[in-house]
Structure 1
Amino acid sequence: MFKFVAILVFLVAVSANKQTPFVHPNARNANLLASRLTIINGKTAAPHQFPYQVGIYVTTPNYIDFCGGSLISSNYVLTAAHCLESATNVKLIFGAQNITDPSESTQVQLKSESFVVHEGWNPKTYSNDIALIKLPTPVKETNAIKIVSLARGERTYSHEQGAVAGWGISRRNQKGVTPILQYITPYILSNRDCKNIDQNYAAVITDLLLCISPGYSKLSTCQGDSGGPLAVNGIQVGLVSFGATDCLSGKPSVFTRINKYESWISKNSDVHFLD
């Protein structure tokens, strides 16, 4: 039964609190989902191992959701467009190890109602799944809070090892976030290898996206932390967009490719890519 379900799943958008069908128009019997993703079969992060990681509670008219993001300047957080599609405001948590413990001395919490969602964002295809949150006041860097560098140029990062962290769902049937930050260190697939996984990936993967290999341990992202950063040697190369409906299916997770959005990020924030 488990294998049967893993094969018949389809593209759906999910969060820690709600699940909404999403079928990619190019996919065939799609074994993918657009999701708020987090870590499956990962490890517990050391305190402030990922100081650029941001937890985002998203308030919409109908529910409160959770996503991830990254601090890209003292004034801006980068996340996924689908996280903010229905948002009225967000609460951002910086410097957290236990996201559910506001008494942590390293935490900084801010609220924002100022978002910029990519003008090409398409909720039907999840193309251009990238957005910015403007902070009401600048965040100061500390030992627990750091600004991440962003990938630029044409480097694909294929076959390089990255790191993804998150507080979202870490096991089946879990409700709510995982309190302590978890992470995985997967390898990045070439787009050709990702497309060769099956016909569904072949239909939806473009040069604006990148995939991570689940490996033999089925390292994966799952519901609860879309928008979170994928970094290689401390440089953010992707942000979590979508992946397999069954988090343990051994299918790749898919990320928005950061270096394809240099000009958009520069135009809409105070981050400038210097030559």
Structure 2
Amino acid sequence: MKVFVVLVLALASASAGLLPNVAPVHPRDRVSTQSITGRITNGKDAVAGQFPYQVGLSFSSSASSWWCGGSIIGNKWVLTAAHCTDGAASVTIYYGATVRTRPEFTQIVSASKFRQHENYMALTVRNDISLIQTSSVSFSASVNKINLPAISSRYSTYEGKTAVASGWGLTSDSATAVARDLQYVDLTIISNALCQKTFGSMIVTSRVLCVATPNKSSTCQGDSGGPLALDGVLIGATSFGSADGCESGAPVAFTRITYFRDWIKGISGI
């Protein structure tokens, strides 16, 4: 009995800091009904052409549909989260929209053009990144690519810097209707060590970048896969937040683009 107790205590001690204190949840998985429910909580309205790299992604499968965000990284490539492409049969891409329902144009792309990370693991939110190969698009003031970080910057932490996240949808946990206009919010990047106090080191690895969410300003459902940009460079894709809610004050996490630069280049050539 004493040996068993010691073993249990040892396992508990070993797992302290590894496992989350708060359950992580993908923004997509907050959606309980088949509707477009993307959101930036307590954000600001974007103006036309402010985020030309932002796209809306309406995914569908035989059983359901869901909304995500994405970033144009080349005239034939969109970057989003693996948990967005996972299980989808196709996606309709909305280009150049500020008003969500009024894009400059759309494309329908089948799942055969999805390049989901081969080692994506939903349980530990590992490798949450996908590329979508599209037909070639012409760039303009309202539709354009965002730069990727230099491969040489893969070890940048960005800690303390303020980046901008964008997406469509609700503006509070109590809202019942999606936003008409593209929303954005400035968020301060925090250290992974601080983020691990909420989600644990098993979840928050070098593949992840976290931000603080003061004043109930955050990303949430439908923002999945959407951009986190710093000085015109894509540094994150919306990945997960707290199961306690989007206005809980817990950090939110993004896929760290610098970690995946070689993977992106290997698939897209970018």
TM-score band w.r.t. shorter chain: 0.7 to 0.9
CA distance in 2, matches of 1:108, 1:270: 25
Structure 2 CA distance, aligned partners of 1:89 and 1:206? 30
TM superposition shift of 1:218 = 2.4
Question: Secondary structure at the residue paired with 1:109?
Answer: strand
Structure label with greater radius of gyration: 2
Deviation at 1:29, TM superposition (A): 5.2
Tell me, what secondary structure is at the counterpart of 2:194? helix
Aligned residue for 1:243? 241
Look up the SS of the partner of 2:265 in the other structure.
helix
Percent identical: 37
Q: Match of 2:136, as an amino acid?
A: P
Contact 1:177 1:224 (C-alpha < 8 Å) held by counterparts: no
Deviates more, 1:203-212 or 1:166-175: 166-175
1:12 aligns to what? Answer: none
Mapped contact 1:75–1:270 kept (Cα < 8 A) = no
RMSD value over aligned CA atoms? 1.6
Counterpart residue number, 2:267: 268
2 CA distance for matches of 1:267 and 1:83? 21
Whole-angstrom distance in 1 between the partners of 2:43 and 2:73 = 25
8 Å CA contact 2:125–2:203 kept in 1: the answer is: no
Structure 1 residues 244 and 28: CA distance shift in structure 2, 3 A: closer
Alpha-carbon deviation of 1:265?
0.4
Matched residue, 1:148: 146
Residue 208 of structure 2 is matched in structure 1 by 209
**Partner amino acid for 2:109?**
S
**Structure 1, residues 111-134: CA drift from partner, whole Å, max 9, x if none?**
111101000101221100000111
Alpha-carbon offset, residue 31 of structure 1: 3.6
2:131 is aligned to 132
Contiguous gaps of at least 5 residues in structure 2: 1-17, 29-37
Is 1:111 matched up with 2:108?
yes
- Closer, same or farther: CA 168–201 of 1 in aligned 2, 3 Å: farther
Which residue of 24, 27, 33 corresponds with 1:32? 24
Q: Cα deviation per residue 1:160-192 (whole Å; 9 max; x = unaligned)?
A: 110000013322254564221001001111112
- Note the 1:29-68 alignment, pairs <5 A: 30-36=22-28, 38-68=39-69
Aligned counterparts of 2:249 and 2:148: Cα–Cα separation in 1: 28
Preserved contact between residue 61 and residue 86 of structure 1 (Cα < 8 Å): no
- Listed as ranges, the matches of 1:10-29 within 5 Å are 27-28=19-20
Instruction: Determine if contact 2:173/2:247 at 8 Å carries over to the other structure.
Output: no
Cα displacement (A) at 1:222: 1.1
Asked if structure 2 preserves the Cα contact closer than 8 Å seen for 1:39 and 1:183, the reply is: yes
Q: CA deviation at 1:38?
A: 3.3
Write the letter of the residue equivalent to 2:180: P
Match of 1:262, SS?
A: helix
Q: Tell me how far apart the structure 1 counterparts of residues 177 and 128 of structure 2 sit (CA, whole Å).
A: 23
3-state DSSP of counterpart to 1:186: strand
Please report the TM-score for the alignment, with normalisation by the length of structure 1: 0.82
Q: Comparing 161-170 with 36-45, which one deviates more in the overlay?
A: 36-45
Higher helix share: 2
Alpha-carbon contact 1:73-1:270 (below 8 Å) kept: no
